[in-house]
């Protein structure tokens, strides 16, 4: 079992390692999760609030999460409360955990505005580092982890979810770490076959859960989202600012080729581009609950 768990963690690190290597090679630096969210939190909230496609995705997620009124729910990596708030509005008591203070502040303000402060308990910190019975509840009815598996030790993180969950758990994550299909095309054109060497996240999650005694269910969802810009050049400028000079011209050609095909609307003040992001939902119910 120790060897299986070590293999699971190795494969999990591999799912992100090659992506981070490609990202570092293209940008010249590696950005940690903490750095990213502390710098991007405000812009992230602004983008999300005007992204109607994300709210369709949110509705789909909520339709998959089984809860009853009065249930306790642990929302791991809750962000600004995209799932925590509607779950609290269902009548659940939600323990909302995130490492980003800016996102939690937004959640606290929104909870107060909607008179949900008595149903949402905010906990700041990396969820996989917290101790059940001390930092978070020892047991909850339902656990949700939406795009929050940026952990080094997947075995420990999933074991924690299993241990604290009485009834059902739900994990939502990118099917591959490249996020969008279009971005994966860009990476593949630069790094060739290297991109195909790293495994998808879902099989690794599935393998790890089965090694821990859980047989999960899996379904996929194509998350589509719109980006409105004045023209394709705006996206090119935004993207190329992140790349090393040695890759600029090559990436420019790829972006133009891919994104021209993704334009779905043209207006006097700009164009709307539709991007595709494969998402996996991994879930299980504990027997007898």
DSSP state of 201: H
| Whether the predicted pLDDT of 52 surpasses 60 | yes
Give the residue among 90, 125, 118, 89 at the shortest CA–CA distance from 104.
125
Would residue 26 count as lying in a domain? yes
Would residue 269 count as lying in a domain? no
Q: What value does the mean pLDDT take over residues 210-223?
A: 94
Tokens of 66: 């089984």
Would residue 69 count as lying in a domain? yes
Would residue 59 count as lying in a domain? yes
Please give the Cα distance from 6 to 141 (Å, whole number).
29
E strands in 46-158: 72-76, 93-98, 120-124, 140-146
3-class state of residue 238 by DSSP = helix
| Whether the predicted pLDDT of 139 surpasses 80 | yes
| Whether the predicted pLDDT of 73 surpasses 70 | yes
Q: What value does the mean pLDDT take over residues 132-150?
A: 95
The model's pTM = 0.83
The range of the structural domain enclosing residue 41 comes to 2-180+191-224+278-285
Would residue 237 count as lying in a domain? no
pLDDT digits (tens, 9 = 90+) for 80-98: 999 999 999 999 999 999 9
| Whether the predicted pLDDT of 43 surpasses 90 | no
Of the ranges 18-32, 101-115, 135-149, 152-166, which one carries the lowest mean pLDDT score?
Answer: 18-32
Average pLDDT, the chain: 83
H/E stretch holding 284 reads strand 270-285
Would residue 210 count as lying in a domain? yes
| Whether the predicted pLDDT of 21 surpasses 60 | no
Give the residue among 179, 171, 165 at the shortest CA–CA distance from 204.
171
Give the residue among 254, 239, 233 at the shortest CA–CA distance from 190.
254
Q: Are 148 and 138 in contact (CB under 8 A)?
A: no
142: domain CATH number is 3.40.50.150
pLDDT digits (tens, 9 = 90+) for 143-198: 999 999 989 899 999 999 999 999 999 999 988 766 666 667 666 666 666 666 66
Q: Please report the DSSP string for 9-26 in residue order.
A: HHHHHHHHHHHHHHHHHH
The burial of 218, by beta-carbon neighbours within 10 Å (0-12 exposed, 13-18 middle, 19 or more buried), is given as: middle
| Whether the predicted pLDDT of 63 surpasses 90 | yes
Would residue 199 count as lying in a domain? yes
Q: Are 18 and 197 in contact (CB under 8 A)?
A: yes
Please give the Cα distance from 227 to 273 (Å, whole number).
5
In the chain, the number of structural domains is 1
């Amino acid at each position: 079992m120790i060897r299986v768990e070590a293999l699971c963690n190795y494969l999990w690190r591999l799912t992100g390692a090659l992506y981070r290597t490609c990202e570092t090679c293209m940008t010249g630096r590696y950005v940690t999760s903490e750095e990213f969210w502390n710098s991007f939190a405000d812009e992230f909230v602004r983008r999300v609030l005007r992204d109607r496609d994300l709210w369709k995705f949110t509705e789909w997620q909520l339709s998959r999460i089984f809860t009853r009124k009065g249930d306790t729910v642990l929302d791991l990596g809750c962000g600004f409360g995209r799932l925590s708030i509607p779950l609290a509005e269902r009548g659940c008591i939600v323990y909302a955990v995130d490492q980003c203070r800016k996102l939690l502040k937004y959640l606290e303000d929104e909870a107060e505005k909607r008179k949900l402060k008595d149903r949402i308990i905010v906990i700041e910190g990396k969820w996989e580092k917290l101790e059940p019975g001390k930092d978070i509840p020892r047991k909850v009815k339902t656990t949700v982890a939406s795009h929050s598996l940026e952990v080094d030790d997947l075995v420990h993180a999933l074991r924690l979810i299993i241990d604290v969950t009485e009834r059902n758990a739900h994990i939502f994550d990118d099917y591959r770490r490249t996020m969008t299909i279009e971005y994966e095309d860009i990476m593949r054109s630069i790094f060739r076959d290297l991109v195909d060497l790293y495994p998808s996240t879902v099989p690794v999650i599935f393998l790890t859960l089965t090694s821990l005694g859980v047989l999960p269910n899996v379904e996929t969802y194509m998350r589509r989202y719109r980006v409105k810009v004045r023209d394709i050049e705006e996206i090119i400028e935004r993207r190329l600012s992140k790349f090393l000079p040695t890759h600029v011209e090559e990436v420019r050609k790829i972006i133009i080729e891919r994104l021209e095909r993704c334009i779905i609307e043209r207006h006097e003040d700009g164009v709307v581009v539709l991007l595709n992001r494969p998402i996996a939902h991994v879930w299980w119910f504990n027997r007898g609950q």
